[in-house]
Amino acid sequence: MPRPGVSITTKKRPSAHGGGIRGDKFTAESSLFVGRFGRIFRSLPPAEWPTEALNALGVEMTSKPEVDANNPTLPSASKEDPKKHIQDDEENSGIPAGYTYLGQFIDHDITFDPASSLQQKNDPNALVDFRTPRLDLDSVYGRGPDDQPYMYNGNKFRLGRPLMELDQATNSRDLPRFHDEQDPMGPRRALIGDKRNDENVIISQLHSAMMQFHNKLVDEDPAASFRDIQQQVRWHYQWVVVNDFLVKICGKKVVNEILPHLDKNEPIWKNLPKFAFYHPHEDAFMPVEFSVAAYRFGHSMVRPIYRLNTRLNGGDNPLQASPDEVARGLDGRFFIFAGVQQRGLNGFDAFPEQWAIDWSLYFDINGSNTKLGKLRAQPSYKIDTSLVNPLGFLPEFSLPAAPSNPPLTVEDLQAKPKDSVNSPSNLATRNLLRGRSMCLPSGQDVARAMGLTPIADDNLRVGKAQVADWATNTRLTAVHPSFAEKAPLWYYVLAEAQYEWIQKAQSITGKGNEEPLHLGTVGGRIVAETLIGLLWADGHSYLQQAPNWKPATIRTMGDLITKALS
């Protein structure tokens, strides 16, 4: 029996042009489920800074909480004007908020490093990447139904409980969860291929949507083997990564420069991929310049507050926001992390069943990227050198919140770190310490190695990408003199995107802040070459087996989720 709301059809599955090719149904098998880290710029010297300099920069990059002008002890957010799409100058008109979490999902698919230390130097060549360096969805599939049968029901994934938009039924499902009956107050852990895909409510529901996409393809072709369905899901996902995600994050020009056959619409053998920097000697590897620096651009895209669906309208009382909370823009919205569970999208546990995500608020679905007010696809924040305040106290490295009573104050919502010295809870600080521990070169050295003129110190600023703020943003060298002509690579990638954007935005009268922003030259090239390079190195990717293949109906991540939940 199919579950309610899902029909089973005998519609033929999409195939490669010409009805398929030999080997396109075969999935790579290996007893090795791991890869290796390595370097793109192997000969560049590591950059060094004192710990106090990195700590100071992490604090400087973390925004202060948004507070009510009339009562600074209370949190606030920009209200959603029903006549506007862009509500806040920090919002990026070019990238909806869902791509922040698609980026996180991709990261969890290709990298996992549980062994390195923030407090000492690590040799990337000796570290194991506990994810295959392939876009193969091993974070979703794990080791498959034969080895992890508790994740599966036949050819389909086991799903969690149905989710609702407040009191309205949806096709969304939570992740399947385990609860220890002997510990009634204990967490309900997700039974999935990578625990990190449960670290916030948004990524957990995105992971669930990918499982439902797999199940949907099984429904459409029940005679297909598990391997056949798995291959179809992977190819759809890989195509979206190249043609939707990378185009938005790095720009279409960069993608076409690396894959010229896309722009010329010719066979790939006439226009082979052009990799200027990512050159694996043998097997594909995960570059630390990508995983520890450039690909952490998404941390600056995180919004402090999100709307899950338009039916939720509560505040501290989940059923009804107070007039004061409505005035402060908090009704029906949740902080990405909070010291009080009911107000944050914290993960690693079950969340209220009323919190189903309306994905049109995260991706452009049915024109939601042009809609206004509460119906809009919420934009991500701009890629810049500022992280929102909730990222200063990551729940995994913070103490449990003390009980508190409404109205919840800024102090209530901010969790306290467990160990600010050895395991800081501030995400910016963690990124900077990680870069040093991995012996990364400076941003300027990488730019020079790429044949570029580094950005002058005077134009390396710390703060938000807003036209009015640029002139007064703190200079990097003012944070600590050790940063003179030697910026941490992660910071440099963010500052570069911000600097290249401000040069365009300042020339636009009136609405310069609404100029779309994507990664700059150094960051965009490292990110795009690495992800496309991983696909090109994988003999079972669509790019190797059928490089001109396109999904029948799916063009964006929004399309994929729409199909999954239909």
CATH of the domain at 320: 1.10.640
Q: Which helix (H) or strand (E) holds 98?
A: helix 98-110
Please give the sequence-ordered ranges of beta strands (E in DSSP) within 435-490, or none if there are none. 461-462, 474-475
Q: For residue 184, tell me if it sits in a domain.
A: yes
Look up residue 409 and give its amino acid. Answer: T
CA distances from 166 to 108, 253, 310, 318, 352 (A): 30, 42, 9, 10, 9
Domain count, the chain: 1
Give the separation between CA 423 and CA 36, rounded to whole angstroms: 25
Q: For residue 468, tell me if it sits in a domain.
A: yes
What is the residue-wise DSSP string for 477-525? Answer: HHH-GGGTT--BHHHHHHHHHHHHHHHHHTTSTTTGGGS-----HHHHH
Q: Which domain holds residue 208?
A: 35-564
The lowest-confidence range among 130-144, 482-496, 507-521 is 130-144
What pLDDT score does 196 carry?
94
Q: How far is CA 545 from the centre of its chain?
A: 27
Q: For residue 6, tell me if it sits in a domain.
A: no
What pLDDT score does 84 carry?
97
Q: For residue 218, tell me if it sits in a domain.
A: yes
Model pTM above 0.85? yes
* pLDDT tens figures, 287-344: 999 999 999 999 999 999 999 999 999 999 988 999 999 999 999 999 999 988 889 9
* pLDDT tens figures, 414-439: 888 888 777 899 999 999 999 999 99
Q: For residue 26, tell me if it sits in a domain.
A: no
Q: For residue 332, tell me if it sits in a domain.
A: yes
Here the tokens at position 325 are 């909370």
Give the separation between CA 306 and CA 496, rounded to whole angstroms: 27
What pLDDT score does 527 carry?
98
Give the separation between CA 351 and CA 341, rounded to whole angstroms: 9
Q: For residue 453, tell me if it sits in a domain.
A: yes
* pLDDT tens figures, 177-198: 998 888 888 899 999 999 999 9
* pLDDT tens figures, 359-385: 999 999 999 999 999 999 999 999 999
Q: For residue 19, tell me if it sits in a domain.
A: no
pLDDT > 70? residue 259: yes
